[in-house]
Amino acid sequence: MATFLLVLKIIAIVIVVFFALTFTVYIFNLDMKLTAAIEPILLKHYDKIDRDQHL
Amino acid sequence: MAKQIGADRLGDFYKEGSRVRKRREWRGLRDTLYDYSRWLWIMMTLAKFVAKPRNVKAMFRYRWMANYLAVPMMVDRHTQGLRGEYLRICHTEQDLVIKDVANLLDALFRGDRRIGNDKKFSDQVVLVDENEMTAVMMGFPNLKVLSRETPSTYVSVLLNQRAACHYIDVAQQFGLAGDVCPMPEAEAGVSIDDDAPILGACAIQCNTTCDGSLLGNGVISQRLEHENGIPVFQLAAPLRHREDDVQDYAAQEIRNAIAFVEKHTGHKWDWDAYFECAKRVNYATKCRMEWLEMNRTPYPQVFGSNLALYTETNYMAICGRIAAFEKADAKITKLARQAYDKKMMMAKEYRHRAIVWGVQSHFYMDFLLWLLNCWGIVPLTDMLSMVSTKELVTEDTPENREQAIYDMAWLTENMIMRNRTHGGYKVLLDELWEFVEMFNADMVILWEHMSCKALDGMHGLFEEKAREKGIPLVWVSHDLFDPRIISRQGVRDQINSFMRTVMQEEPIDPSLEILPDDMSW
Amino acid sequence: MKDLKHLIFFENLLLEANNELIRQAQADSKVCVAYTCENTPEPLLNLGGCFSARLRAPRTGSLDISTYYMTSFLCEYSRALLERAIEGGFNFADCIITPDGCSMMNRCIENMELLKTMGKGKENFFFQYMEIPMKADDNGLNLYVLQCQNHILKPLHEHYGIDISDAAIRQAVKEHNHICELIRAIGDYRKEEKPRITGYEFAVITLSTYVAPKYLLVDKLEETLEELKTREPDEKSKFRARVLVAGSEVDDTDFIKLIEDCGAYVCADRFCYGSLPGRNPIVLNDEEDALTQICRAYMNKGECPRFMNTDKMDHRRIYIDELAREYKADGIIYQQMKFCDPWAYEKMMGSNILRDKYGYPVLAVDRPYSIGVSGQMQTRVQAFVESIEIKKIQRGAVNG
């Protein structure tokens, strides 16, 4: 029973931590702020690719 | 930060010089948790997508893939200020479209000779245009119908307003005039820039958009046929689609297209699959008509970008071929009925009932929501949503098989936009005023896509008719895919000036009048 | 060279849309069938009792009113036509037949109709819009035939009692071919090393066959051909290079003059209103009806960029290469009227492919409808001529 409760407690903690973390990311738009920082790096990379540009 | 509709100053979420917003909206506990749960779902969809190494490889190969970093923000733009049923309708649509595009990308990269190079899979692929009704593929359930232009340009510009600029510049470097429509121009630019996945047993191109699109396809087919060895069938749908004496030609084009696909893929046309799809098309039509019927009342429910974007996708790209959209149709209709029964409103105040006509600015698709939130203008319906409502035959009989060919031809001829921009002035000019009356509208918002010659060519007559009818008509110029010509603020300014000077009104949410979103995705 | 006897006569025909010969033909009770696009089969508009006049707007000035109706983004050809129609300049026409060749032309004619610019006092006047094929195949041919029946032959018969029998059509083709053969024979002199006709003169003569009743031109064309047989070319040519002009609608002979004044001889005219392939004779057999054969000929010869099947697209460049070799062109001027969507793409494709794959020097330019004396264009053509000369010198040096 105690193990069961412990497991339940761990699951509850995981859920709460997961929620707290993801909700913080969600409400403060941190996901988009991160990807906005990644974009310029990717664009520089694309500029370096050799392309067979023609009609 | 409140549960009530219109409680937030939506302009305050923007930040000068930033691609993204300061934070997401608090919509009250229930709606915020709902929106959060959908955000989680989107993140999971994206995580599943990037879990495949080939998709990561594609991310580093194709420039347009960088735009997909902005997927959640696209949804945020379309859910601005929404609550309750409207928020749920929007997510039902957007989330499904995201899933569908993720599947499309995954399939493209699986077959792409540069990325997944799955030859067996590629041999089951038929490439289609972005602006093409996929009706002709309704009877090929085991073939993959993929559009390369949809993810590379069409969706990309929805995600990031500047997504097409690079490709437009590439096409112009090769001598293409700068005054053509930037949509086919960008698509041609992707091909010239060697930035399109290479796959497929064959391709079907069409003439269904405009002169520019037809010729842009010529650029793409150069590489496809002559370099990649992928045979191309050009499906020519008649321009004067309302005339009886073109329908036999249109039907024969469909027969020829089917024969072409059968020849190059080895798959046979399946009438059972076709009639299944036809039933779904009819259902989608029935639902759309019900939404439009509600929009004629003082309590419109599925309108603005909720109507426009979904109709474009469902009517043209899906065309009954994907069952999930039927479920979405049903869910949206249920939500709309609930809201209608409760006499709900999407914004705190409705001041004007508008028909939105012309081709909307693709880099600013959430403009319709802005119209509502900033000025209380209700975009009841738009030109691209006023598509065919014809019921297709669904019972498999010898006569119906023949009729079905004509039904597919009809759908192809009546692709979104071209059903209005081609076919004579009646469908573009005269029917607008019929809809104004039908929807009891008191205003017309007329998108002037500056490089769309078919629309520009009726400019003066639109104005004369508006004066004759006494309906305020607002021109909103833009260049479809290129915000460098007229920016989002430039688009808004045209409405702001009209509303302040002609209509002598003040905005409902003044924070939205001028937004620092030039650098935004 | 000595001036061509009838050049001023031909030039005068181009000064007004409602020219002297149109007035003469109408005085003979002939019906004037106005049209705007090369995809309208001309012989069908020239049946007994009627004649064709392809619309243009010479001496175009302000485009203010048509720009209001169609904005500044439509090509100046379509705007110039509408402006002229609003001014009443096309009131001479007894009907107008137009295919939806391009969106701009379609809108131009629709505006003419809605603004009631034509047909004043003509109770039988009609507007007809045609669907024409975008691919050259059997299905396209069937469509072409049906559309010609419904939108050319039937209305002409019903409104004006024109004989539309197979025999009448064959007679019209015979007369059409005679004009084509004369133009071709005159144009063949452009192949000579020292040509006895300038590109400008040829453009004037060819253009007049589109805008004036053909039957009234025959004697002048025959005389001109005779005259050319003995015409002495200049001992020292003013031309430094031979160019083929390709691309969109050109009904402005000043453009050809401008090119030639810059030292480039226009040896071939592969553009809308030109003779290649516009003045190809139509060969009829006796087994098949004439209408179907005419439509097939138009469909197969058409070099308009609206034809979208790959074979047709490829053929547009192959044909220019063939012509450039036949007419010994040193280079190609690929022109498009500003704001023309179809030719904007075709100019890009054609100029790149002819340069990269076929190895021609190519000048790609866009231009207004009425060019006058454009310094900018002169500079570009002069630079192009010089670049061709430099290439010739370099080639000569390499060959020793």
Helix, strand, or coil (residue C167): helix
The CA distance from A54 to the nearest CA of chain C, in Å, is: 9
pLDDT confidence of residue B131:
85
Residue of A nearest to C353 (CA): A55
Q: What is the pLDDT of residues B406-443, one digit of tens each?
A: 999 999 999 999 999 999 999 999 999 999 999 999 99
Contacts of residue B37, Cβ cutoff 8 Å, sequence gap at least 6? none
CA distance B410 to A20: 53
Q: Verify whether the Cβ–Cβ distance B245 to C150 is below 8 Å.
A: yes
To the nearest whole Å, the CA of B104 is away from the closest chain A CA by 22
B43-53 burial, b if ≥16 CB within 10 A, otherwise e?
A: bebbeebeeee
Is residue A2 within 8 angstroms of chain B, CB to CB? no
The reported pLDDT for the residue numbered B481 is 96
The secondary structure of B253-320, three-state, reads HHHHHHHHHHHHHCCCCCHHHHHHHHHHHHHHHHHHHHHHHHHCCCCCCCCCHHHHHHHHHHHHHHCC
Burial of C333 (0-12, 13-18, 19+ CB in 10 A): buried
Please tell me if residue C380 touches chain B, with a CB cutoff of 8 Å.
no
The answer to whether C344 touches B456, Cβ cutoff 8 Å, is no
Neighbours of C373 (CB within 10 A): 10
- Element of type H or E holding C266: strand C264-271
Q: How many CB pairs under 8 A join A and C?
A: 6
- Predicted confidence at residue C399, as pLDDT, reads 66
Distance CA C19, CA C24 (A): 9
d(CA B43, CA B41): 5
Q: Which chain B residues touch A if contact means CB-CB below 8 Å?
A: 18-24, 26, 32, 36, 39-40, 43, 59-61, 63, 66, 69-70, 72-73, 76, 170, 174, 192-195, 219, 222-223, 521
C253-273: pLDDT as tens digits: 999 999 999 999 999 999 999
A-interface mutation test, from B63, B152, B225, most A Cβ less than 10 A away: B63
pLDDT at B70: 96
pTM score, whole prediction: 0.95
Q: What share of chain B is helix, strand, coil (3-state, %, to 5)?
A: 55, 10, 35
Q: Tokens 């001036």 correspond to what residue?
A: C3
Query: What number is the average pLDDT over the span B125-132?
Result: 93
pLDDT band at residue C372 under the 50/70/90 scheme: confident
Q: What is the pLDDT of residue A1?
A: 78
pLDDT at C93 over 60: yes
CB contact A50 to B (< 8 Å): no
Instruction: Name the closest residue on chain C to residue B223, using Cα atoms.
Output: C310
Over the stretch B309-354, which tens digit does the pLDDT of each residue have?
899 899 988 999 999 999 999 999 999 999 999 999 999 999 999 9
Residue C395's pLDDT is 82
* Residue B157: strand, helix, or coil: helix
Could you report the per-residue pLDDT of A19-39, keeping only the tens digit for each? 999 999 999 999 999 999 999
C386 and B CB contact within 8 Å:
no
Cβ-Cβ contacts under 8 Å, B218 against chain C: 305, 308, 313, 345-346, 349
Q: How far is B264 from B204, CA to CA, in rounded Å?
A: 11
Contact C296, C141 (CB under 8 A): yes
Flag if A38 and B69 touch (Cβ within 8 Å).
yes
For residue A41, give the amino acid letter.
I
3-state class of C35 per DSSP? strand
Percent residues over pLDDT 70 in chain B: 100
Express each pLDDT in C198-252 by its tens digit: 999 999 999 999 999 999 999 999 999 999 999 999 888 999 999 999 999 999 9
Query: pLDDT band at B1, cuts 50/70/90?
Result: low
Which residues in B lie closer than 8 A to residue C70 (C-beta atoms)?
456-460
pLDDT at B317 (0 to 100): 87
Q: What is the mean pLDDT of residues B35-50?
A: 97
pLDDT greater than 80 at residue B34: yes
Nearest one of B359, B388, B365, B387 to B304, comparing CA atoms: B365
Per the prediction, chain B carries an average pLDDT of 96
Which of B357, B345, B365 has the alpha carbon at shortest distance from B386? Answer: B357
Please state the rounded mean pLDDT for residues B264-271: 98
Find the mean pLDDT for residues C274-282. Answer: 96
Beta bridge partners of C50: C31
pLDDT at C52 over 70: yes
What is the structure's pLDDT at B208?
Answer: 76
**DSSP output for B363-384:** GGTTHHHHHHHHH-EEEEEEGG
The pLDDT value given to residue B90: 97
